[in-house]
Amino acid sequence: MGILYDARKLKALGFLNDLCGYAGKDEAFSEKLWKEFLDDSELYDEFVFYADNHTFLDELKVSGYSMSDLYVWQMDRYNIVRELGKNPAACNKETLVLNAFMEMSKMKRDPATYVSRIESGKGNDRL
C-alpha cells in the first residue's frame, strides 16, 4: 500500500516558504499564514492561483475588497518611502503579496475594522 499525499499542497507550501524567504519573513509568519490557508479554502484557492499565475484570482471579496485591492492599498501606504527613492524590504513585491494574504485572512474575521482603516486612511500602522 502506498502513501497518499496531496502534491498540490506540498507545492503551495514550498512556494509560500520561498516567498517568505524572499521577503525576509520568519518561519513563524510562514506557519501562521499556512494555517490560515488550511483553515480557509477560499483564501487557499487564491494563493494557489497566485502561485501558478503570479497574479491574483480576485474571486474572494470581503465587503467589496479583493486581494488586488489590499495589495494596492499597501502600496499606497509606502508611497512616501518610494518618493524618497528608498526601497526597503518592507515594500518589496513579495512582502506586499504576503501581507495582502495575511490581511485578507484578518479582514474576513473583522471586516468592519479593516474597511474603516482602508477607507479612512488612518490607523494603517496597526495592519
In a domain, 126, yes or no: no
In a domain, 124, yes or no: no
Coil, strand, or helix at residue 32? helix
In a domain, 91, yes or no: yes
What is the spatial distance between Cα 58 and Cα 45, in angstroms, rounded to a whole number? 10
What is this structure's pTM?
0.82
Question: 64: closest CA among 107, 24, 99, 23?
Answer: 107
Res. 80: pLDDT tops 80: no
Residue 76: which pLDDT band, with cuts at 50, 70 and 90?
confident
Q: Looking at the 3D structure of the chain, how many domains does it have?
A: 1
**Cβ neighbour number for residue 67 with a 10 Å cutoff:** 25
Interval 63-74: pLDDT, tens: 999 999 999 988
Number of helices (H), then strands (E), belonging to the chain: the values are 7, 0
DSSP assignments along 49-66, one per residue: HHHHHSS------BTTB-
Res. 88: pLDDT tops 60: no
